Structure 1
């Protein structure tokens, strides 16, 4: 008589990279919602784990502690903005800069981005140890992208001049529209309003078009 040995269930290995990335993104999206709803101080790892239906250990292994989670949420926002317009190998000039500036401004004036900016400002004073990490994973990345797009527009500028122009341009793009959004006295702009703001600011920094 032939006996059949029972098959053992296949051991599940690590999920594919794409699946791990999707899970991490879902976790960060959940954390962002809680940070915006409760603030940094009242958001806990336990609350995020419960809302995301994951174990606390998963959060610690995937991202880190609560400060790491907050920084990762800020990084995710900047990743989403930069993914909209990947940096070209050879920037072609004003059109690239204009396109990216419109994408950037529209993204930073959404309710979610404005809410996160309020939190970043509020928590930087309470948790100075993460302030620089928040800046590096948010504003600094946008400034670096603007800096990468400037050389064809300002071919005679020195590296130091390009650095300072990128910082000034970033501040100029946000300007009063961003301040009004932070104070909650204005809605998110329309695409037409964003385009007008970008064109007006670029005209101050770039030579007139022929």
Structure 2
């Protein structure tokens, strides 16, 4: 028996997912519970302090560039000890990884597991694609991507961290879906799952170079993103279905 919860309409899904990454660099984070309390900090206090640290790191990375930001600078702005960052994240690369992972976790929350989702492949990929396009359209994400490209040669750990925390996670997620026996049976047998994952991303994103070089002043509307997703999925399915 199918126990998967009914999927939301596409426009509602897009609205629910909107701005997930930007939450990490927004100016209106509610940090009221970060004040000092007597005794051991409560779980809510610890979580708020962690949010504050990630928020501060994300802001500094985007404002000054990854290579120009030191752990001392982050610690001073976030009012924590440098040792705390090392203990929790292992260093600056680990902190960036946590920022990206936190954004992904918030963004994909509420989405059924693609490894067990029993909906038709068209519905699964529509759900994923709307969320993904919405994420990469957030101005802070575009800024992060541009920063990575600009500093990749001078700061290899930045490129490696971003790739492992972002693109690699997305490709592996899609590859697992395309490797499912029931899904694989619907696709052209000569196409490996890894190639299908890259092809899908390219179909729904379109001209990535233009998107990064000339980002629009305003993010695309929900209607524009839906149209991009529908056109991209149509192109994808026409090329890969049996």
TM alignment of 1:31-110, pairs within 5 A: 31-88=57-114, 89-92=116-119, 93-110=121-138
Runs (4 or more) in structure 1 with deviation over 6 Å come to none
Moved more, 146-155 or 136-145: 146-155
Deviation at 1:71, TM superposition (A): 2.6
**1:181: which partner in 2?**
211
Structure 2 runs not aligned, ≥5 long: 1-37
Deviation at 1:191, TM superposition (A): 0.8
Q: Is the 8 A contact 1:78 1:142 kept in 2?
A: no
1:122 aligns with 2:171: no
Out of 195, 200, 206, the residue aligned to residue 169 of structure 1 is 200
Out of 201, 206, 231, the residue aligned to residue 200 of structure 1 is 231
Q: Is the 8 A contact 1:63 1:72 kept in 2?
A: yes
Where 2:185 maps in the other structure, the secondary structure is: coil
Q: Larger C-alpha radius of gyration, 1 or 2?
A: 1
How far apart, in 2, do the equivalents of 1:131 and 1:36 lie? 14
Moved more, 196-205 or 68-77: 68-77
Deviations 1:12-50 (A, max 9, x none): 45753x654443233112100111111112212122112
Count of equivalent residues = 197
Where 1:205 maps in the other structure, the secondary structure is: helix
CA gap of 1:153–1:60, structure 2 versus 1, over 3 A, is same
Q: Is the 8 A contact 1:84 1:103 kept in 2?
A: no
Question: What is the TM-score normalised by the length of structure 1?
Answer: 0.80
Deviations 1:137-180 (A, max 9, x none): 1011122223344455553434952221111111222222x433
How far apart, in 2, do the equivalents of 1:179 and 1:192 lie? 22
How far apart, in 1, do the equivalents of 2:45 and 2:206 lie? 39
**2:52: which partner in 1?**
26
Larger relative contact order (Cα-Cα within 8 Å, sequence gap ≥ 6): 2
* CA RMSD, 1 decimal: 2.7
Question: What is the TM-score normalised by the length of structure 2?
Answer: 0.70
